[in-house]
Structure 1
Amino acid sequence: MKKRVLIALFVTFSVVCYGQSFKPKQLREATVEQLHTAMQAGKLTAVQLVQLYLDRIEAYDKQGPFINALIMVNPKALIEARRLDSLYKATGKFVGPLHGIPVIVKDNYNTADMPTTNGTLAMKTSVPPRDAFVIKRIRDAGAIIIAKSNLAEFATSGHFSVSSILPGYSHNPYDTRRTTAGSSGGTAAAVAADFGTIGLGTDTGSSIRGPSSHQSLVGFRPTLGLVSRDGIAPLAMTNDTGGPICRTVDDAVRLLDVIAGYDQADTVTQRSKGNVPASYRQFLDKNGLKGARIGVFRQLVTPKNADPQVYALFNKALDELRMAGAIVIDSVRVPELDTINKSFDTIPQLRRDFNLYLANLGPNAPHKSLRSIIKSRQFHPSIEKTLLDADADTLSPEAHKGWAKNMALRARLRQLLLRAMDSTGVDALVYPSFSYPPRLIGDLNTPSGTNNNALSPPTGFPAFTVPMGFTYNDLPAGLQFFGRPFSEPTLVRLCYAYEQATHHRHPPATTPVLPKNKRKVATM
Structure 2
Amino acid sequence: MAQRPHGRRNRVAALVAGVVVLTTPTLPAGAAGDAGRVPADRIARWVVDADATALGELLADGRVTSVDLVKAYRARIDAYEQPYGDQPGVNAVIREDPDALAVAARLDAERRRGHVRGPLHGIPILIKDNYDTADLPTSNGSLALRHWRTADDAEQVARLREAGAVVVAKTNLHEFASGVGTISSLGGQTRNPYDQSRNPGGSSGGTGAGLAAAFGAVGLGSDTCGSVRSPAAHNSLVALRPSQGLSSRDGIAPISDTQDVGGPMAKSVRDVALVLDATAGYDPDDPSTRASLGRVPRTYTTGLRDTALTGARIGVFTDYLGTSAPEQPTTALVRSAVADMAARGATVVDVPSQPALLAAVEGSWLINDEHERDLNRYLAAPGSRFPRSLARLEPPADVVTLADIVTSGQVTPTVLERLRIRLGRSTGPQDEYHQRLALRAEAQRLLGALMADHDLDALVYPTVPQQAARVGEPQPGGRSCALAANTGFPALTVPAGFTPDGMPVGVELLGTPFSEPTLLGLGHAYERATHHRRPPPTTPPLVH
Q: Does 1:358 align with 2:379?
A: yes
Distance in 2, Cα, partners of 1:363 & 1:234 = 15
User: What amino acid is the match of 2:103?
Assistant: E
Secondary structure of 1:339's counterpart equals helix
Aligned to 1:390: 422
Q: Does 1:451 align with 2:480?
A: yes
User: What amino acid is the match of 1:349?
Assistant: E
Aligned to 2:94: 71
1:177-232 Cα offsets, whole Å, 9 max, x none, are 11111100000000011100001000001101111111111010000000100011
Secondary structure of 1:497's counterpart equals helix
1:327-361 Cα offsets, whole Å, 9 max, x none, are 10122542313322443466421211111111115
Q: CA deviation at 1:84?
A: 0.8
Distance in 2, Cα, partners of 1:463 & 1:380 = 30
Aligned to 1:373: 405
Aligned to 1:500: 528
Aligned to 1:244: 264
- 286-295 or 370-379, which deviates more: 370-379
Q: Does 1:160 align with 2:181?
A: yes
Distance in 2, Cα, partners of 1:199 & 1:190 = 9
Q: CA deviation at 1:450?
A: 5.2
Aligned to 2:328: 308
Q: CA deviation at 1:440?
A: 0.8
Distance in 1, Cα, partners of 2:448 & 2:478 = 25
Aligned to 1:472: 500
Q: CA deviation at 1:18?
A: 4.8
User: What amino acid is the match of 1:185?
Assistant: G
CA separation of 1:17 and 1:363: change in aligned 2, threshold 3 A = closer
User: What amino acid is the match of 1:67?
Assistant: V
Aligned to 1:132: 154
Aligned to 1:520: none
Structure 2 unaligned blocks of 5 or more: 1-35, 392-399
Q: CA deviation at 1:408?
A: 1.5
Q: CA deviation at 1:480?
A: 0.3
- Aligned partners of 1:436 and 1:450 also within 8 Å: no
CA separation of 1:485 and 1:306: change in aligned 2, threshold 3 A = farther
- 353-362 or 387-396, which deviates more: 387-396
1:356-378 Cα offsets, whole Å, 9 max, x none, are 11111525233422222222222
Distance in 2, Cα, partners of 1:343 & 1:277 = 34
Distance in 2, Cα, partners of 1:289 & 1:328 = 11
Aligned to 2:29: none
For residue 283 of structure 1, the aligned residue among 286, 295, 303 is 303
Secondary structure of 2:173's counterpart equals coil
- Aligned partners of 2:364 and 2:486 also within 8 Å: no
Q: Does 1:441 align with 2:482?
A: no
Aligned to 2:439: 409
Secondary structure of 1:364's counterpart equals coil
User: What amino acid is the match of 2:209?
Assistant: A
- Aligned partners of 2:248 and 2:280 also within 8 Å: yes
CA separation of 1:317 and 1:363: change in aligned 2, threshold 3 A = closer
User: What amino acid is the match of 1:161?
Assistant: T
Q: Does 1:172 align with 2:192?
A: yes
Query: When you count helix as a share of all residues, which structure comes out higher?
Result: 1
Distance in 2, Cα, partners of 1:41 & 1:433 = 37
- Aligned partners of 1:203 and 1:240 also within 8 Å: yes
Secondary structure of 2:355's counterpart equals coil
How many percent identity over aligned positions? Answer: 41
Secondary structure of 1:238's counterpart equals coil
Distance in 1, Cα, partners of 2:495 & 2:139 = 30
User: What amino acid is the match of 2:98?
Assistant: P
User: What amino acid is the match of 1:242?
Assistant: G
CA separation of 1:93 and 1:21: change in aligned 2, threshold 3 A = farther
Question: Which portions of structure 1, spanning 4 or more consecutive aligned residues, are displaced by more than 6 angstroms?
Answer: none
CA separation of 1:332 and 1:429: change in aligned 2, threshold 3 A = farther
Distance in 2, Cα, partners of 1:94 & 1:136 = 17
1:264-314 Cα offsets, whole Å, 9 max, x none, are 000000000011000000010111001111011001114248622112112
For residue 254 of structure 1, the aligned residue among 270, 274, 285 is 274
- What is the correspondence of 1:9-88 to structure 2 with a 5 Å cutoff? 18-19=38-39, 22-64=42-84, 65=87, 66-88=89-111
- Aligned partners of 2:253 and 2:378 also within 8 Å: yes
CA separation of 1:268 and 1:377: change in aligned 2, threshold 3 A = same
Q: Does 1:431 align with 2:442?
A: no
Distance in 1, Cα, partners of 2:351 & 2:282 = 36
Distance in 2, Cα, partners of 1:370 & 1:154 = 11
Q: CA deviation at 1:451?
A: 1.7
Distance in 1, Cα, partners of 2:253 & 2:417 = 19
Distance in 2, Cα, partners of 1:174 & 1:74 = 26
Distance in 1, Cα, partners of 2:38 & 2:324 = 55
- Aligned partners of 1:334 and 1:416 also within 8 Å: no
Distance in 2, Cα, partners of 1:246 & 1:482 = 18
Secondary structure of 2:369's counterpart equals coil
User: What amino acid is the match of 1:433?
Assistant: T
- Aligned partners of 1:285 and 1:496 also within 8 Å: yes
Secondary structure of 2:372's counterpart equals helix
Distance in 1, Cα, partners of 2:264 & 2:476 = 26
Aligned to 1:110: 132
Q: CA RMSD in A?
A: 1.7
User: What amino acid is the match of 2:416?
Assistant: E
Secondary structure of 2:71's counterpart equals helix
Aligned residues: 494
1:80-139 Cα offsets, whole Å, 9 max, x none, are 0111111112x2231233111011100000000001001111111112110111111000
- 431-440 or 307-316, which deviates more: 307-316
- Aligned partners of 2:53 and 2:119 also within 8 Å: no
CA separation of 1:352 and 1:47: change in aligned 2, threshold 3 A = same
- What is the correspondence of 1:127-276 to structure 2 with a 5 Å cutoff? 127-157=149-179, 159-167=180-188, 169-276=189-296
CA separation of 1:482 and 1:332: change in aligned 2, threshold 3 A = farther
Structure 1 unaligned blocks of 5 or more: 1-15, 517-524
TM-score (norm 1): 0.91
CA separation of 1:333 and 1:489: change in aligned 2, threshold 3 A = farther
User: What amino acid is the match of 1:124?
Assistant: R
Q: CA deviation at 1:20?
A: 5.2
Distance in 2, Cα, partners of 1:192 & 1:52 = 15
Distance in 2, Cα, partners of 1:22 & 1:292 = 40
Distance in 1, Cα, partners of 2:196 & 2:176 = 23
Distance in 2, Cα, partners of 1:288 & 1:370 = 46
